[in-house]
Amino acid sequence: MTSTKITQPTLTFEVRRRAPELIPPSGPTPHEFKKLSDIDDQEGLRFQIPLILFYPNSPATARLQDPARVIKEAVGKALVWYYPLAGRLREKEGRKLVVECTGDGIMFIEADADVSLDHFGEAPHPPFPLDELLFDVPGSSSVLDSPLILIQVTRLKCGGFILALRLNHTMADAQGLVQFMNAMAELARGANVPSILPVWERHHFAARDPPRVTCEHREYEEIDDLKGTIIPLDDMVHKSFFFGPTEIAALRRLIPPHMKRSSTFEVLTACLWRCRTIALQPDPEEMVRIICVVNSRYLSKYPPLPVGFYGNAFALPVAVTTAGQVSNNPLGYALELVKKAKGAVTQEYMHSLADLMVLKGRPHFTVVRSFAVSDVTRAGFVDLDYGWGPPVYGGPAKGGVGAIPGVSSFYIPFENGKGEKGIVVPLCLPGFAMERFVKELDGLLGQTIEDSNAGSGSGSGSSVFISSAL
C-alpha cells in the first residue's frame, strides 16, 4: 500500500491505498462498438467529473461486511448490464466518439484513512481533499483509451467510509450516473437484477441528415478574449455557501411581484450571476453570460426518452448582456434573462444542438465571461444506499469542473449541522473577487433577513458562508 499525508486548513490525515485494479464485468458481455450521441461527444464534456459520498457507521450496520469488497463485487455485477462503461473511448473521423466495448473494466482503489467521519465537520461539504480521496492513477485520466470510471472506497476509523467516483462525462450526465450507481447499490443489497435496465439508444440525440441549425445557440459563439482571461489561476479560492429556507425567502423578497412564481433555481441563479459579476468587476460594456444546464428529459413537448436511458440529455442555453446591466439593475433584470434562456430549450432546440455539433466540429461552450450552473438537487446522489443507509453528503466534489476553474458550479442538496435542509453551492473565484462576492451576497441577504426579523440558523452578516480552502 502507498501512503501520503495531506493537510487541510483544519485537518491532517493519512491515507493508505492498495494498488489500483481493473474490475471487469462479472459475466460475459459482447464486444462491439457503440456510437455516442452528437451531444455526448461535444468538447465541453470531454473531461472527468468527480463525485463523492460520505457514509457513516451505525450499530445497525455492524453485521455488514467490508464496504470496499461489497462495492467492488457490485461494480462487477452492474457492469454486466452497463457493459459499455467497462469499455474504452475511441475517436473516429470527424472527431466522432465511439465506445469499444472491450470488457476491460473500470479502475478501483481500496484505501484506509486514519480519520473519522466527524473530522470532516458536522455536515461534510465541498471543498474536499480530493487528491487523496480520489487518487489520480497515472495514465487513467485521459478521455480516450482510458477507464471510463474510477472508484475509490476509503474506510474510516469510525467504521464509516467514503465512496469517491470519477466519470468520463461523455458517457453520462448526473441522472445517468445515478442510475448506474443505483444499480450498483441494489446489487450490493442483494438484488439479482437492477430495477431499471439500461438503455443505450444514443440516436435520440443524433444529428439530422442533412444537419441544419434552426435555433440560436449563443453558448457556442466563438469569442476572442481580448482583455485576457478572468481567472488568474495562481490565486484561486474555494468557498461553499448554504442557502436554506430563510436565505431563499430573502432573495424572493427582492424580485418583482409578477415574477414571484419563479423557481428556486431561477432566483438563486440570478442572484449568484449578479453577485459574481459585481465581484469580478469587468468593464461595464463587456458582455457577460449565464449558462443554465437544462435537462431535456422533462420538456413537456419533448418525446419522452425510454426509461433506462443514461446518456447526456441536457442543453446549455445562455443569457447574454453587459456587465453593467447585470450589476446596476435590480435582481429582477437578471432573473428575467435566466427564465428566458431556460425557456428556449424545446424539442427543436435539441435537434438543432446536435446538428450544430456536427457542422461546427463539436465545439466547447463559450467560457469567456461565462458562468455555468447545474442543479443536481434532484439527481438522487443522497439516496444511494449500498447497505449502510444513505450518505450524509452525496454530490459533486468541488465547484469548478473541467480544465478551466471558476467557470461552473453546482446546486447540491444539503442538510446543515442544525438539521436545516437547503442547497450548498461551492464556488471558485480569484481571491480578490471572492472577498467582494462574499461582501455583496451578505449585503443582499443581510438587509432583507433583518428587515423581516426572520433570523437564520447561520445568522446575518456572512450569513451563508460555510467553508473555504485555498
As annotated, the active-site residues are: 169, 385
Q: What's the one-letter identity of residue 441?
A: L
Phi-psi region of 461 (alpha: psi -120 to 50; beta: other; left: phi over 0): left
**Non-local CB neighbours of 453 within 8 Å, separated by 6+ positions:** none
β-strand 393-396 against 370-375: which pairing, if any? unpaired
Cα of 22 vs its chain's centroid, Å: 25
Residue whose C-alpha is closest to residue 49's, from 137, 113, 134: 134
Q: How far is CA 168 from CA 47, 50, 86, 250, 435, in A?
A: 6, 9, 12, 38, 33
Residue 328 has what DSSP assignment? Answer: H
**Non-local CB neighbours of 284 within 8 Å, separated by 6+ positions:** 322, 323, 324, 327, 328
Cα of 166 vs its chain's centroid, Å: 11
Please report, for the chain, how many H helices and E strands are present, in that order. Answer: 9, 20
Phi, psi of 209 (to 5 degrees): -125, 110
Residues 3 and 14 sit within 8 Å (Cβ to Cβ): yes
